[in-house]
Amino acid sequence: MGALESKGRTEQNEFAKHVEEGLSAKEKRISSMYLYDDEGSRLFEEIMDLPEYYPTRCELEILKKYKRTILELTCIGTEIYVVDLGAGNGLKTMVLLHYFTGRANFKYVPIDISKSALNDLENNLKLNYADLPFECIHGEYMESLRSMKSRPDVRKLILFLGSTIGNFTFREAMHFLSDLHDALNKDDLVLIGFDIMKDPHIIRSAYNDSKGVTAKFNFNLLVRMNRELGANFDLNNFLFYPMYDPSTGEMKSYLVSKTEQVVYFKALNRSFQFHTWEPIHTECSNKYDVKMIEELAVRTKFEIEENFYDSKKYFLDSLWKVR
The footprint of ligand SAM on residues 138-197 (CB under 6 A) is 140-141, 161-162, 164
The mark string for 116-145 relative to ligand SAM (x by CB under 6 A, - otherwise) is -x----------------------xx----
Q: Which residues contact 130 (CB under 8 A, 6 or more apart)?
A: none
Q: Following DSSP, what letter does each residue of 72-108 receive, concatenated?
A: HHH-SSS-EEEEEET-TT-TTHHHHHHHHBTTB-EEE
In whole angstroms, the minimum distance from the beta carbon of 304 to ligand SAM comes to 20
In whole angstroms, the minimum distance from the beta carbon of 39 to ligand SAM comes to 12
Out of 113, 121, 158, 231, the only residue in the binding site for ligand SAM (CB under 6 A) is 113
Out of 112, 188, 310, 317, the only residue in the binding site for ligand SAM (CB under 6 A) is 112
Nearest Cα residue to 156 out of 119, 108, 196: 108
86-107 residues labelled b (16+ CB within 10 A) or e (exposed) = bbbbbbbbbbbbebbeeebebe
Q: Does 36 bind ligand SAM (CB under 6 A)?
A: yes
Q: Does 314 bind ligand SAM (CB under 6 A)?
A: no
Taking residue 129's Cβ as centre, other Cβ atoms within 10 Å add up to: 16
Q: Tell me whether residue 117 or residue 136 sits nearer to ligand SAM (CB atom).
A: 117
Q: Does 242 bind ligand SAM (CB under 6 A)?
A: no
Chain mean position to CA 254: 18
In whole angstroms, the minimum distance from the beta carbon of 9 to ligand SAM comes to 18
Residues in the chain: 323
The footprint of ligand SAM on residues 79-108 (CB under 6 A) is 86-88, 92
Q: Does 110 bind ligand SAM (CB under 6 A)?
A: no
Q: What are phi and psi of 63, to 5 degrees?
A: -65, -35
**Footprint on this chain of ligand SAM (rule: CB under 6 A):** 33, 36, 41, 44, 86-88, 92, 111-114, 117, 140-141, 161-162, 164
